[in-house]
Amino acid sequence: METFKSPMQNKADPISFSEMSIASFGFIICLVLSGCGGGTSTSTAVTTSTGISEYTTLNLTALANYAKPALPAHYDGNVTALDNTPSDNLASDRVATLGRVLFYDKRLSINDAISCSSCHQQASGFDDPRRFSVGFSGASFTTAHAMRLGNVRYYQPGNMFWDKRSASVELQASQPIQHAIEMGFTSSAGGIPALIAKMNASAYYPELFAFAFGDSVITENRIQQALAQFERAMISASSRWDTAFAQVFNPNANNRGLGTPLPGFTAEEDRGRQLFVAGPNNGGAGCSACHQMPTFALAANSRSNGLDAGETLIFKAPSLKNVALSKAFMHDGRFSSLEEVVEHYNSGVKLGPALDTNRLAPNGVPLRLNLTAEDKAALVAFMKTLTDTTLTTDPKFSDPFKK
Ligand code: HEC
Ligand code: HEC
């Protein structure tokens, strides 16, 4: 893979932290107002900080529910078993609310230009409509396509990034902040300590950390925990497929009801479902062997899907929930339509050391599905039923900052 470079290999950007922290609006406000919080508060009481209410629309006396989501019956123990939440970062509404602020805060970039949400946009299923994302400088681009974040908690191994180089959602969270193209807090710009100094001087973080963690100390670990809790709350269980499947789901049935025709689906969508679920030996396309239902997160043991001959990197994919809201597909965004994706699996799989030969080259030769035009269209129609507008419009995942 030539275009895929680890973002950590990119060179540092010259903009320095000192210029930026002085330019930070929150920093200036804090010099003007008294009681901005200086790292000494130990209060866990609900706060009515001027900073929080001046900058955000949060109501800390009526928090959104992140910790105990109501899930349909098909999100049962089989799904819970895939959850990558570590025992030392169980969700609380307070910490996840802090995570929401962090996710949308442009101050997490060195020049207050972009936030996580600039590249992970709620309306696109937390994807970026652009093939490559623009970093803080406005002039440099990522070398990989951004990833949708729905159902990130159900990739059981917990590794993050297309090439799985980050071990957990927590550890991933501070990577974009330190990235030379993405948010710019590189080591030469002061790194995470410089960000923490900026946050300590802000009008709202000391009190928000006290609200979330019981004291106002800001650490990298806490930033990671809060962002991870917010991201893991992004569960997708309300697509049209979920609503239909809920009606036929039966934990005791053969294949839990996944083989059953779905109420309300068109004939084409239901044909697509059949192809997605059934293996190539049973007239299907074998997609769900890797893109596991009902979360559509990737199976732990999936290997690469044969995009490039000789590929050595084993890639993961984000959940296919909301995939039809994306405009670029695969780690380098090489495909611009779901039709091209289906054609790849139909006729384009290439051999290489990382290829999942069990599923995609069972006899040592790349699988050729020989799908008809109707069947290819049916697979695309099926993937469109995975669009979940509950996730893409839920206010609890929206920007909490006042405009
Ligand atoms: C400039 C654009 C950009 C910004 C800003 C950004 N990301 Fe990303 N994000 C990406 C790209 C591109 C990838 C895929 C990178 C790769 O695999 O090398 C990605 C991948 C991820 C993943 C991996 C998902 C998975 O299933 O493996 C997570 C989680 C994530 N980002 C969260 C965040 C958080 C949290 C922030 C803010 C602290 C953030 N991102 C800021 C572009 C961005
Ligand atoms: C061997 C496991 C495997 C099988 C089988 C498989 N996929 Fe994938 N799929 C992957 C992997 C791995 C990726 C990410 C590849 C990359 O970007 O390098 C992926 C990526 C995708 C993407 C792009 C996701 C994104 O966010 O860009 C779509 C869409 C997709 N697959 C659909 C399908 C369909 C439809 C089928 C059946 C015809 C299928 N897959 C079969 C493993 C598999």
Q: How far apart are CA 135 and CA 119, in angstroms?
A: 9
The residue among 268 and 32 whose pLDDT is bigger is 268
Query: How many Cβ atoms are within 10 Å of 81's Cβ, its own excluded?
Result: 9
Are the C-beta atoms of residues 256 and 250 closer than 8 Å to each other? yes
pLDDT at 203: 94
Q: Minimum-distance ligand to the CA of 318?
A: 1
φ, ψ of residue 89 in degrees (nearest 5): -145, 50
Are the C-beta atoms of residues 230 and 96 closer than 8 Å to each other? yes
Question: Ligand 2 within 6 A of 366 CB?
Answer: no
Question: Ligand 1 within 6 A of 117 CB?
Answer: no
Confidence of residue 4 (pLDDT cuts 50, 70, 90): low
User: Which tokens belong to 44?
Assistant: 């866990």
pLDDT at 18: 35
| Dihedral (CA of 102, 104, 109, 111) sign | negative
Atom of ligand 1 nearest to the CA of 160: 27
In this predicted structure, the answer to whether residue 313 has a pLDDT above a threshold of 90 is: yes
Query: How many Cβ atoms are within 10 Å of 50's Cβ, its own excluded?
Result: 16
| Residue owning the nearest CA to atom 27 of ligand 2 | 329
User: Which tokens belong to 401?
Assistant: 């900052």
Are the C-beta atoms of residues 315 and 163 closer than 8 Å to each other? yes
In this predicted structure, the answer to whether residue 87 has a pLDDT above a threshold of 90 is: yes
Question: Ligand 2 within 6 A of 371 CB?
Answer: no
| Average pLDDT, integer, range 283-291 | 98
Question: Ligand 2 within 6 A of 360 CB?
Answer: yes
pLDDT at 277: 97
In this predicted structure, the answer to whether residue 363 has a pLDDT above a threshold of 70 is: yes
Q: Minimum-distance ligand to the CA of 313?
A: 2
pLDDT for 96-130, tens place per residue? Answer: 999 999 999 999 999 999 999 999 999 999 999 99
pLDDT at 278: 96
Are the C-beta atoms of residues 133 and 119 closer than 8 Å to each other? yes
Q: How far apart are CA 49 and CA 211, in angstroms?
A: 11
Q: Minimum-distance ligand to the CA of 164?
A: 1
Atom of ligand 2 nearest to the CA of 358: 1
C-alpha distance from residue 167 to each of 110, 162, 173 (Å): 25, 12, 11
As a whole number of angstroms, the longest Cα–Cα distance in the chain is 72
In this predicted structure, the answer to whether residue 13 has a pLDDT above a threshold of 60 is: no
Q: How far apart are CA 9 and CA 289, in angstroms?
A: 33
Question: Ligand 1 within 6 A of 298 CB?
Answer: no
CA of 306 to the centre of ligand 1 (A): 23
Q: How far apart are CA 162 and CA 315, in angstroms?
A: 5
Share of the chain above pLDDT 90, in %: 86
| Residue owning the nearest CA to atom 5 of ligand 2 | 287
Share of the chain above pLDDT 70, in %: 88
| Residue owning the nearest CA to atom 37 of ligand 2 | 287
CB-count burial class (<10 Å; 0-12, 13-18, 19+) for 62: exposed
Question: Ligand 2 within 6 A of 289 CB?
Answer: yes
Average pLDDT, the chain: 90
| Residue owning the nearest CA to atom 2 of ligand 1 | 119
CA of 342 to the centre of ligand 2 (A): 9
What is the four-CA torsion angle of 270, 241, 168, 128, rounded to 10 degrees? 90
Atom of ligand 1 nearest to the CA of 174: 38
The residue among 36 and 167 whose pLDDT is bigger is 167
CA of 329 to the centre of ligand 2 (A): 9
CA of 146 to the centre of ligand 1 (A): 6
Q: Which of 2, 160, 319, 330 to mutate to test the pocket of ligand 2 (most atoms within 8 A of CB)?
A: 330
Question: Ligand 2 within 6 A of 344 CB?
Answer: no
Are the C-beta atoms of residues 84 and 157 closer than 8 Å to each other? yes
Residues 6+ apart with CB under 8 A from 170: 86, 89, 221, 224, 225, 227, 228
In this predicted structure, the answer to whether residue 44 has a pLDDT above a threshold of 50 is: no
Q: Minimum-distance ligand to the CA of 125?
A: 2
Question: Ligand 1 within 6 A of 210 CB?
Answer: no
CA of 376 to the centre of ligand 1 (A): 30
pLDDT at 48: 53
What is the four-CA torsion angle of 125, 131, 135, 140, rounded to 10 degrees? 180
CA of 386 to the centre of ligand 2 (A): 14
Q: How far apart are CA 157 and CA 256, in angstroms?
A: 23
Phi-psi region of 332 (alpha: psi -120 to 50; beta: other; left: phi over 0): alpha
pLDDT at 215: 97
Question: Ligand 2 within 6 A of 296 CB?
Answer: no
User: Which tokens belong to 109?
Assistant: 């970039």
C-alpha distance from residue 272 to each of 151, 243, 286 (Å): 22, 17, 11
Q: Minimum-distance ligand to the CA of 333?
A: 2
| Average pLDDT, integer, range 287-306 | 98
In this predicted structure, the answer to whether residue 20 has a pLDDT above a threshold of 60 is: no
Q: Minimum-distance ligand to the CA of 338?
A: 2
Confidence of residue 254 (pLDDT cuts 50, 70, 90): confident
CA of 373 to the centre of ligand 2 (A): 19
C-alpha distance from residue 148 to each of 31, 50, 129, 160, 234 (Å): 38, 34, 10, 12, 10
Query: How many Cβ atoms are within 10 Å of 123's Cβ, its own excluded?
Result: 13
Angle formed at CA 127 by CA 93 and CA 268, multiple of 5 degrees:
110
Place of tokens 């623009």: 134
pLDDT for 150-187, tens place per residue? Answer: 999 999 999 999 999 999 999 999 999 999 999 999 99
